[in-house]
Amino acid sequence: MIEKTLQILQIDNIDLQILSILMNDATTPYTEIAKELVVSSGTVHVRMKKLQELGIVTGSNLLINPQKIGYDVCAFIGIYLQKGSEYHDAVKKMQDIPEVVELHYTTGVYSMFAKVVCRDTNHLRAVLNEKLQAIEGIQRTETIISLEESIKRQISLEDYIEAGKKK
Amino acid sequence: MIEKTLQILQIDNIDLQILSILMNDATTPYTEIAKELVVSSGTVHVRMKKLQELGIVTGSNLLINPQKIGYDVCAFIGIYLQKGSEYHDAVKKMQDIPEVVELHYTTGVYSMFAKVVCRDTNHLRAVLNEKLQAIEGIQRTETIISLEESIKRQISLEDYIEAGKKK
DNA sequence: GTTGAAAAGTGCTGCGA
DNA sequence: TCGCAGCACTTTTCAAC
């Protein structure tokens, strides 16, 4: 089943290994990747261009430690909407709240589920009371505060790479 | 209060603006940043080195679209542990489950809260039944499936940059 | 701490296989 | 389609301010 996906996507093991390396460090020089995979740097370049055109690679970003710049509080907020249909309006308003770093439309008890990053608990309270509760259609929220983020990573491509090797 | 944080961290507006640019695209050349901020590329280089040494910048990664490589299902899992003290053992075992991309130790009804990315609902079920439930100490889980990720971004440094300007 | 330029290394492109 | 080689650009360093 994994092999099938790879065929549909038209990507092979070299593509996957390039992705795997760059997902850990987007600044890895192409020459170094080329050396590791025993291909030319031109090949790495062509593959990356293809992956970008296919929309698999969407960009790159710098990872910063939010705590080190004074953003100490991370929380998840379950949001109850008065009607599910109000979701798209609510999304637009949530866009304007910079503290909201993720927003999902979900199954289960909540209509929406947000991840927010704040400086401290006061800041969190301000976001909840002044920003979120002010949005029309939001009925009620439930907050889960993260005391420690123990794992933070991207999905692994190992399974795919293994599957590709067997083929 | 924001100004205070900046002083403690020993970072100024130039640092913040460099971060802000690179957070959106980690591959932006230093020369281009230098032009935009009207400083030399050497300065940008020195600042970035400092930010890395301070632990503010922790790395960079390539953003990929999980759906494009067949990872269609994103879910949040609230986990009840038999005892809260079992958290650190559970974390170690969760590390070995590649589908778990985030793990938090939380307040509220759940002991732990995880974000998982799977290929499809079957895959998610396999992770829940075969991997998570097999971990000793995990009593029960509650799953929230994300039907749509409407917002996905990093924290904004705009507030800090504004505060720095006023000063 | 910043600058500007020089040296080293990397990214990109076209040609050949 | 892939690999090789050359040019342009970027990174990095360093002496001078």
3-state secondary structure of B107: coil
> Which pLDDT tens digit goes with each residue over A16-55?
999 999 999 999 999 999 998 899 999 999 999 999 988 9
Spell out where chain A has E strands.
57-64, 73-81, 100-106, 112-118, 138-152
**Over its length of 167 residues, how does chain B's per-residue pLDDT go in tens digits?**
777 777 766 788 899 999 999 999 999 999 999 999 999 999 999 999 999 999 999 999 999 999 999 899 999 999 999 987 788 999 999 999 999 999 999 999 999 999 999 999 999 999 999 999 999 999 999 999 999 999 999 999 988 888 877 65
3-state secondary structure of A152: strand
Residues A111 and A75 in one domain: yes
A166 in any annotated domain: no
Query: Which structure tokens are listed for A5?
Result: 């996906």
Residues A36 and A97 in one domain: no
Residues A14 and A74 in one domain: no
Do A105 and B66 count as a contact with CB atoms less than 8 A apart?
A: no
Q: Which nucleotides of C are covered by protein (CB under 7 A)?
A: 1-5, 9-14
Residues A139 and A73 in one domain: yes
B88 in any annotated domain: yes
* Strand C neighbours among B 22-61, CB < 7 A: 39-43, 46-47, 50
B151 in any annotated domain: no
Closest partner residue to B66 (CB to CB) among A94, A102, A155 is A155
**Amino acid B163: pLDDT:** 82
Cα dihedral sign, A165-A46-A62-B119: negative
Domain of residue A117: give its range: 66-146
Residues A103 and A37 in one domain: no
The gap between B152 CA and D3 C1' (Å) is 39
Euclidean distance between CA atoms B145 and A107, whole angstroms: 5
C1'-nearest nucleotide to the CA of B37: C2
Residues B96 and B125 in one domain: yes
| Nearest-neighbour CA in chain B from A24: distance (Å) | 6
Single out the residue in B61, B85, B111 at which a domain terminates: B61
**Amino acid B159: pLDDT:** 85
Cross-strand bridge partners of residue B17: none
Q: How many domains, in total, are found in chain B?
A: 2
Q: What CATH number is associated with residue B78? A: 3.30.70.920
Closest partner residue to B144 (CB to CB) among A9, A106, A143 is A106
Euclidean distance between CA atoms A10 and A38, whole angstroms: 21
Residues A56 and A70 in one domain: no
Residues B21 and B85 in one domain: no
Whether this prediction's pTM lies above 0.85 is answered by: yes
Euclidean distance between CA atoms A160 and A163, whole angstroms: 5
B163 in any annotated domain: no
A97 in any annotated domain: yes
**Amino acid A166: pLDDT:** 61
Q: How many CB atoms lie within 10 A of CB B55?
A: 11
Q: Is residue A112 within 8 Å of residue A87, measured between CB atoms?
A: yes
**DSSP letter string, A20-52:** HHHHH-TT--HHHHHHHHTS-HHHHHHHHHHHH
A153 in any annotated domain: no
Euclidean distance between CA atoms B25 and B108, whole angstroms: 36
A35 in any annotated domain: yes
Residues B46 and B101 in one domain: no
> Looking at the predicted structure, is the pLDDT value of residue A167 above 70?
no
Task: Please give the backbone phi and psi of residue B87, each rounded to the nearest 5 degrees, phi first.
Answer: -55, -50
A154 in any annotated domain: no
Q: What CATH number is associated with residue A29? A: 1.10.10.10
Residues B52 and B93 in one domain: no
**Amino acid A163: pLDDT:** 80
Single out the residue in B61, B90, B112 at which a domain terminates: B61
Single out the residue in B30, B46, B61 at which a domain terminates: B61
Residues A91 and A131 in one domain: yes
Euclidean distance between CA atoms A83 and B29, whole angstroms: 46
Residues B47 and B74 in one domain: no
